[in-house]
Structure 1
């Protein structure tokens, strides 16, 4: 890698991680911001009711890259799946402790009550009995420093369409992830932005492969394992989680398809070893459009030799592909620097990511992925 390339890649990493630590629940915050009604994630378009279970997984074969003294690599995983019915207890968005940590970091403690964020309606039911069937598995990895809950709307949407979805929190890489016993480990990695970015990406790839091991092992997860078709597995991630999606595909042949949501790739020769499996990159036009020398999408795209798409969204920001803008607008705290509305960002994310996995894991034809459409004028296709 040349010195110029290394500098460029590190510049992108620093920008993305800084953005992740400055989650845009911002603007000129009022003294108090409490919506008249409870916060609510978008309703899924799929017809299936959705259940959610929370798992605590520990890989004792590996030491934690941030806290080597820890007893293995700990992960918290939210599993979303088609349920037998829509009855039962609503699944919480996050715990109040997790919400408080996030709000404190943003300087919004006292502006937005933690209970308001934690109580966001998710359209999923906690521990609901799963519907019978054999389902594709999709894993989701969040952006650096933010929790898996920021991808909840996408997880519920995919589950309602007929996927089993596992959203993964990586220990010591989030500002607020609650583990059993009420433990909230600090974001140790947040204080080490200058670390080799490949350490983050490869560590997450190992995490995701371990989650696949556990979810497909009936001795570990029982009924959930019986739902999964191990021949239909995909991975998607936001920001550095998107880099982890491609790295997981390179390291684990079980993963058939992947998506990067507005992330750089951060590892040398990203895209090698994919062997023709489908991959889609979708991100903000201002950062990931062709000709932007500060990102590595062009060189990575050239290494992909199977079905591939390079999509950009005009007016999008880094978090437009997550729950954050949708919720921020309900709180009256939109990001003034991002022209694309939270609602529109969600619709684009839902439609394109949903179409990708429906095509490649469920075999359902998706004309939306063929090229530009009048229904989604913000989305550009590059080098198809």
Structure 2
């Protein structure tokens, strides 16, 4: 599964190592989207579902914690905020996958994504001729269970934000693992910023700003995502929560992690919302700089590729962010990884025999490292459990280099 196609917009949004893909699904440009939202035609999903070529069967890595991972799908509407990219669509709507610690042998296997989301992802994000069918991608094994019985207790909440053009689903491996280790996880799709998001009415809305980026005068993507996340937190921790299991959440222990522009959005969110106590940037250029006064001493993990994000590497924003962060901070790089290595994309690509140029470690190994360090960071910062893994280089993880470490 290749990464985002090259374009002026993706250059502006600083997504490194993007690969050129031809599009077979026309995405609405920003100017067109201002008058009518882009959707996946029903004929696309219908014809896709009719095809049964047994080419591809993906299985995500099994979660490593003590709990099973349950998952619910939540739809929330911010009636006080017009959609920032398609104002004619009305108020801002978001779809959120809520993962939680669950009891074993309860619930039903959860799909990876809807057929509409799978069709849009394949047509915009996968090289032509892959043979992958939407129902095969939608049916990937996630090790998450819909309707599973929740474990009793209150748990820290981690919000996850995906990279630009990527649907929330490509962070499922990390989400299920966090849930298995005793976290509630809110995996947020940022509408009109990804390949496709299916809403309760059956429409799959595709990307409105992928070709041109925000129009002049519109807010930045990280700032918009910060508003998305704060609204989701309101819906989860307010007096009348939108999620039936919201009592599982400890509102005093909230963290956020994001990949690519989702990682950049962690800084914007933490700068605007003090409820987020710890943050993780997974290989994202800091489009939104860390404020001059830092983030109020809150801890932050920077975890990225060695090729781009080592000290003195090609992305100068990491050094600038490191200097501005004023709390406990870690700067780690992983040898042999590429930009998508911190997501499910290389795992899916491996199952489809699609090479990821530049990747020198296996997709499952890259995900293992991502999970271990993100889990450890939140265990230390949100649960107060010291983690030897974060104290310095480890013989068991020779790919990981500590570029910076401060107590």
Q: TM-score, normalised by structure 2?
A: 0.85
Q: Give, in whole Å, the separation in 1 of the partners of 2:199 and 2:173.
A: 22
Q: CA RMSD in A?
A: 2.3
**Which residue does 1:301 correspond to in 2?**
322
Within 1, Cα distance between the matches of 2:222 and 2:243? 29
Are the equivalent residues in 2 in contact too, given 1:250–1:271 (CA < 8 A)? no
Partner of 1:274: 295
**Helix, strand or coil for the counterpart of 1:80?**
strand
Q: In structure 1, what is the equivalent of residue 139 of structure 2?
A: 119
In structure 1, the residue matched to 2:164 is 144
Aligned length: 366
Where in structure 2 are the equivalents of 1:16-165 lying within 5 Å? 16=15, 19=18, 34-35=55-56, 38-105=57-124, 106-108=126-128, 111-165=131-185
Once the two structures are superposed, residues 69-124 of structure 1 have per-residue CA deviations (whole angstroms, 9 ceiling, x without a partner) of 22211110000001133322111100122111111122446611111111011111
SS in 2 for 1:69: helix
Q: Which residue does 2:209 correspond to in 1?
A: 189
Q: Which moved more, 1:197-206 or 1:360-369?
A: 197-206
The alignment partner of 1:162 has SS state of coil
Tell me the residue number matched to 1:204.
Answer: 225
Q: Equivalent residue for 1:26?
A: none
Contact 2:159 2:187 (C-alpha < 8 Å) held by counterparts: yes
CA deviation profile, 1:344-378 (whole Å, cap 9, x unmatched): 11011011001111111112221011111111111
Q: Deviations over 1:294-324 (max 9, x none)?
A: 4301011111111100111111100000011
Q: Secondary structure at the match of 1:206?
A: helix
Please list every run of 5 or more consecutive structure 2 residues that lacks an aligned counterpart in the other structure. 1-8, 23-52
Give me the whole-angstrom Cα distance separating, in 1, the residues matched to 2:287 and 2:151. Answer: 39
Q: Is the 8 Å Cα contact of residues 17 and 144 (structure 1) preserved in structure 2?
A: no
Higher mean displacement: 157-166 or 61-70: 61-70
Q: Does 1:250 align with 2:267?
A: no
Q: Deviations over 1:124-183 (max 9, x none)?
A: 110222121011000000000010000001000000000000000011001111111111
**1:216, 1:171 → 2: CA distance?**
22
Asked if the contact 1:103–1:109 (Cα under 8 Å) also holds between the matched residues in 2, the reply is no
What is the CA-CA distance between 1:19 and the residue it aligns to?
Answer: 2.3
Q: 1:47: Cα distance to partner? A: 1.1
Describe the shift of the 1:64–1:383 C-alpha distance in structure 2 as closer, same or farther (beyond 3 A).
Answer: same
- Equivalent pair of 1:11/1:294 in contact (CA under 8 Å): no
CA distance in 1, matches of 2:279, 2:290: 17
Q: Helix, strand or coil: the match of 2:97? A: strand
Alignment of 1:342 onto 2:382: no
Task: Normalising by structure 1, report the TM-score.
Answer: 0.90
Provide the rounded CA distance (Å) in 2 between the counterparts of 1:111 and 1:69.
Answer: 36
Q: 1:369 aligns with which of 363, 372, 390?
A: 390
Does the 8 Å CA contact 2:332/2:404 hold for their aligned counterparts? Answer: no
Q: Which moved more, 1:219-228 or 1:77-86?
A: 219-228
Alpha-carbon distance, 1:186 to partner: 2.3
Q: Structure 1: which 4+ aligned runs deviate by more than 3 Å? A: 10-15, 20-23, 107-110, 193-198, 268-273
